[in-house]
Amino acid sequence: RSTSNYAELNATLSEELGSFTFCVHMRTNDTAGSLVSYATGRISNEILIEGWRGKGFKVVTSGRSFSLPVLDGLWHVICLTWQGVDGAWELYVDGALNRSDSGLGARRVISTQGTWILGQDQDSQGGGFDTPQAFSGEMTRVNLWDRVLSTSEIGTNWTTFCSHQGNVINWTNTQIHVFGQAGFAQYDHCGKCFH
């Protein structure tokens, strides 16, 4: 675990997001670490999904935390949908709805001009990393859409999971800058993974 190991996605928001769906394939048996963070010059945690005290994952837009059965060393697909109007959100694990509620960052939008980092929590845009928040594991198929996907679009099998193509971040054609000892390896289900 190190603050030197991470990746930056060459992806910018051309306009504010009033809703989104974020999906990632991940594998870890660690107890903590940030999967993804999106920070702007104004707000360091516009979007943050991180492992939390060995209990599961915390989604930060308003500090919500959830216990998810994904810190077990197996591959999992996590998808988070969010609507800014009422803060309605749904969290899927391996295609099954795990949790849903409202009030998560209600009446707000996700700002433009931010930086996307995999594997670290940004305390300032593009930096401010802390070792305890560094991700240790593997991830791939990071995709982001500017809308809420339906349950059928999220899917329930690897064929659907591997065909995800986000219209804001698309894992297959988004340029990824890798730092430190992080790198890519072959991923059994659908192509390369970041570790």
Q: Look up residue 136 and give its DSSP letter.
A: -
Find out whether 91 and 79 touch, Cβ atoms under 8 Å.
Answer: yes
Question: What is the spatial distance between Cα 11 and Cα 148, in angstroms, rounded to a whole number?
Answer: 19
Q: What share of the chain is helix, strand, coil (3-state, %, to 5)?
A: 5, 45, 50
* Within a domain: 74: yes
The predicted-structure confidence for 38-62, as pLDDT tens digits, reads as follows 999 888 888 888 876 655 666 766 5
The predicted-structure confidence for 105-154, as pLDDT tens digits, reads as follows 777 888 898 999 999 999 999 999 999 888 888 888 899 999 999 999 99
* Within a domain: 38: yes
The mean pLDDT value for 88-95 works out to 91
* Within a domain: 44: yes
The candidate with the shortest Cα–Cα distance to 1, out of 115, 114, 121, 116, is 121
Q: What is the CATH number of the domain that holds 125?
A: 2.60.120.200
The candidate with the shortest Cα–Cα distance to 37, out of 61, 53, 14, 15, is 61
Residue 163: pLDDT band by 50, 70, 90 thresholds? confident
Rounded-to-10 torsion of CA 109, 95, 189, 153? -60
Q: How far apart are the first and last CA of the chain?
A: 11
* Within a domain: 143: yes
- Kindly report the CA angle at 90 between 43 and 105, in degrees rounded to 5? 30
* Within a domain: 1: no
Domains contained in the chain, number = 1
* Within a domain: 146: yes
Place of tokens 């959830």: 66
pTM score: 0.88
pLDDT of 55: 58
Question: Which residues span the domain enclosing 185?
Answer: 6-194
Residue 195: pLDDT band by 50, 70, 90 thresholds? very low
